Amino acid sequence: MPMRLWLALLVLLPLCACTPQMEVQVVRYPEADRADAEPSCPKVIEDGARIPSGCIDVGDVYVGDTGFSTRCHRERVLSEVHSAGCQVRANLAVARRITDPISSCYQVRARLLRCPPAEGVVE
Amino acid sequence: MKAPVCRCVQAFIALLPLLSACGTIVNGTRQTVAIRSRPPGATALVLPDNLTVTTPAEVELDRVRAHTVRVELQGYCRETVHIDRVTSESTMGNVLVGGLVGHTIDASSGGGWDLKPGAVDVTLRPADGSVASFLECDRGHMPSAAH
């Protein structure tokens, strides 16, 4: 193989994995598939707020750094949490920030909850 | 005929990925996580792996992704523990050796990540008569009786 091709391979190999996106991993619990659940998207709150009574966990989402993420500011990450909540028909998401001293990304783990419609969220 | 030095450079480039990923070399791609409960004998479901074990147990989990452990025992409130993926300090070695190639390999193999917490240790609380077993009933988060 020509030397130039080898060098090109060396440069391109790392770039193949470079994505500025975040790693978004949604876990859907069996409770998410209840037939009576109506389509909904969650209100996203951060940890520390009181969770209303009567909610059930329908999933969780991890939004983290891929090692190459650049678009990972707080608003963007919470927007990913919101989208993940829509997938499992959650109406409340409680996000907890993950401490990672090496990464500069805002990373969260969020519980995705389905709460009774009448329940409000007290922040 | 090609110069021997040229062949050496080619061989070096081809082998570089094997030599450079500090996190993968130090950590491996999987991490052993202990799952314990009080009382023991609970069922632990690890997601998204869909791995079911009875506590106490040790499981080998991929470092490349986060995990969720749901611990259930008849008559007790279910506990859910999130195992998050954070950057491993061993990836800092790529600053000295490995560079972008090493960092890429660590990020994609999982060797560049640590799973935290490294052990799941839960104390299950008895469910009172108002809720069915297997339900989460923590922190003002009582499930509806109908569920």
Query: Residue B142 is which amino acid?
Result: M
Interface test with B, best of A21, A22, A25 (most B CBs within 10 A): A25
Whether the CB-CB separation of B77 and B37 falls below 8 Å is answered with no
Cβ-contact B111, B105 below 8 angstroms = yes
Cβ pair A14:B65 closer than 8 A: no
Per-residue pLDDT at B145: 31
Question: Which residues in chain B land under pLDDT 50?
Answer: 131-134, 139-147
Q: What is the ipTM of this complex?
A: 0.75
More confident residue, A17 or A95: A95
- Residue B61 phi, psi dihedral angles, 5° rounding: -115, 145
pLDDT of residue B86: 86
pLDDT at A107 over 70: yes
Q: A67 pLDDT band (50/70/90 cuts)?
A: confident
Look at residue A123 in the predicted model and tell me its pLDDT.
42
pLDDT at A84 over 90: yes
Percent of chain A with pLDDT strictly greater than 70: 84
Number of Cβ pairs < 8 A linking chain A and chain B: 96
3 state DSSP class of A92: strand
The rounded mean pLDDT for chain A is 82
